[in-house]
Structure 1
Amino acid sequence: MRAVIVRSFGGPEVLEVAEVPVPAPGTGQVRIRVEAAGVNLVDVATRAGGLAGAGLMTGALPVGLGWDAAGVVDAVGPGVDGFAVGDRVAGLSDRLEVPSAGQAEFVVLDATAVARCDLDPVEAATLPLNVLTAAQALDLLDLKEGHTVLVTGAAGAVGGFAVELAAARGLRVVALAGDGDEELVRKLGASVWVPRSAPPAESVRQAVPGGVDGVLDAAVLGLPALDALRGGGAFASVIAGAMPPALRGARVANVWVRADGARLARLIPAVTPRVAGTLPLAEVAEAHRRLEKGGLRGRLVLIP
């Protein structure tokens, strides 16, 4: 089968669509015939060697790329209940060093990492990593109904889902986003929009005197976003190593996303998929270039 791998760290040119063995499902696993696979910033970081440099990978190569996969179950391993050949699913491949991952013609995942999903596979492939990250980051904040939360990067892939999920929890959402994104973030559920071109702390504190109760820092602003937080508030970072210091008694944590198929199944109907574009698997390097350029609304999706 064809799969996206890297044999050396570097720019988009090191990406390779290689022929690798078709994986077989083991106990508690299912194999998915992939119809669509999302492209995320973690793929860029893996390819460039950033994760290995941060000590999150051993650096052993080659390694497969792709966290998000959507398609059809085509084989079921022993001990799996609840899935059958032909089921339409989406799932999260959350291991960093595997021979092949979601960006491939087939992927094997633990059944616990997979959710039934009747969406178009292209839309479904934008969801697992980003929606689970948003939900698990909100869990870390542990805010109560009526509390205020600042979501930075609120029009982005993680931030957009965070706005929707926070509003559904009864939180008052302050959305920090681009100058052209006010209509979008308000449609997603934001009560207050703050342009990212303005100083974030001052703008947020004008809207919420005393500061917000929590910050979900999807844009990785760090200290400027922390300054919008009230004393003793909660701060969730979505990237390892990007956490600011716990000033003014803040409770600061980094979300380490984990696969959770059962929760993913509950979250899928609660969010709005956004597809920035599709490309064939062979054009994965172009997908990385577009992602690194920035400005996308939603996720790019590869079609094997």
Structure 2
Amino acid sequence: MRAVAITSFGEPDVLSVVDLPVPQPGAGQVRIKVAAAAVNNFDLVARAGWLGPMLPAGPQYVFGWDVAGTVDALGAGTTGYAVGDAVIGMSDWLDTKAGTQAEYVVLDTAAIAPAPSGVSLIEAATLPVNALTVLQSLDLAALQAGETLAVTGAAGAVGGYAVELARQRGLKVVAISASRDEPFLVTRGATFVPRSDDPVRSLHDRYPDGVDAVLDAATIGPSMIQAVRDGGVFVSLTPPKTPEAERGIRVYRAHAQSDGRQLRALAELVGQGHLTLRVAETFSFEDAPKAHAAMLKGGLRGRVVLVP
């Protein structure tokens, strides 16, 4: 099978299409014929060699956490799915090393769910990792309906899901983003705050006592904890940008984990029109270096997706 791989760390041009054996599913697993696989920031960091001992040198890695496709084969005793079913899934890559940016990938049934209705598989591939990140972040925060959540990078690939999922929980959402994103965010029920060089001050101008929680999807970093009220919640997405707890604030670092049950619920929200999938650009496997370059350039709204 064809797969996007690296054999050494470096710039996007280290990515190439290689030929690998087709993986075989074991008990409780399915093999998915990949229709689309989104590119994550993790892929960029890993490809550049910035993960240190978490990712020792090769010989070869195939990246990719998100996948959408059709079930191609079942492992012994596997139930709940049939060949031909359209599915989405998440590979816990650091544990499995099963990259989804390949023509086929094998995943446990516990990591997949039926694909959402009414959308293409390319669109569906944008859902798993980022939506699970948000859902699990909101579970950690454990906010009550009526409380206020500020989301940085609110129109980004993670932030957009945060706004919609938080509103569905009855939270008041303050969306911090670029001015061009105001219509998108306001129509989703958020209070818009334009991005600035001092987002803490911008929030304090509107919420002098601080907001109940911040989800730092833009990874602004520790300074954002100053926008949280005493005893509130701060959710970070990256270890280097996670502040120390202070003033009774609960601080969490969200790390998405595959969860087929949660993924099924998210897919149902998409099918009901309550969750918006956004594709920024699609690239062929052969153009994977261009996909990484596009993400490094920044400013995207939605996900970059690779198609075989």
Per the TM superposition, whether the score is higher than 0.5 is: yes
Query: Quick one: which amino acid aligns to residue 242 of structure 1?
Result: K
- Which residue among 72, 75, 94 is the counterpart of 1:96? 94
2:186 aligns with: 186
Query: Quick one: which amino acid aligns to residue 274 of structure 1?
Result: R
Unaligned 5+ runs, structure 2: none
Cα offset, 1:73, TM superposition: 0.3
Q: Distance in 1 between matches of 2:85 and 2:175?
A: 37
TM-score normalised to structure 2 length: 0.94
Cα offset, 1:292, TM superposition: 0.5
**Alignment partner of 1:81: what SS?**
coil
2:281 aligns with: 277
Cα pair 2:98 2:106 within 8 Å, conserved: no
Residue correspondence of structure 1 range 240-279 to structure 2 within 5 A: 240-268=239-267, 269=269, 270-279=274-283
Unaligned 5+ runs, structure 1: none
**Alignment partner of 1:63: what SS?**
coil
C-alpha distance after superposition, 1:36-80 (max 9, x if no partner): 1111111101101122x2x43344441111111101001011232
**Alignment partner of 2:240: what SS?**
coil
Describe the shift of the 1:14–1:98 C-alpha distance in structure 2 as closer, same or farther (beyond 3 A).
farther
Residue correspondence of structure 1 range 109-128 to structure 2 within 5 A: 109-117=107-115, 118=117, 119-128=119-128
Cα pair 2:7 2:58 within 8 Å, conserved: no
Describe the shift of the 1:231–1:103 C-alpha distance in structure 2 as closer, same or farther (beyond 3 A).
same
Q: Name the count of aligned residue pairs.
A: 301
**Alignment partner of 2:16: what SS?**
strand
Cα pair 2:64 2:93 within 8 Å, conserved: no
Cα pair 2:196 2:202 within 8 Å, conserved: no
TM-score normalised to structure 1 length: 0.95
Cα offset, 1:99, TM superposition: 6.0
Q: Distance in 1 between matches of 2:198 and 2:70?
A: 46
Cα pair 2:5 2:16 within 8 Å, conserved: yes
Matched, 1:169 2:173: no
Cα pair 1:126 1:299 within 8 Å, conserved: yes
Please give the root-mean-square deviation of Cα atoms over the aligned residues, in Å.
1.4
2:297 aligns with: 293
Cα offset, 1:167, TM superposition: 0.5
Q: Distance in 2 between matches of 1:241 and 1:64?
A: 25
2:77 aligns with: 79
Task: Indicate the percent of aligned positions where both proteins have the same amino acid.
Answer: 50
Farther-moved stretch of structure 1 (197-206 vs 71-80): 197-206
Cα offset, 1:259, TM superposition: 0.3
Cα pair 2:34 2:69 within 8 Å, conserved: yes
Q: Distance in 2 between matches of 1:29 and 1:18?
A: 24
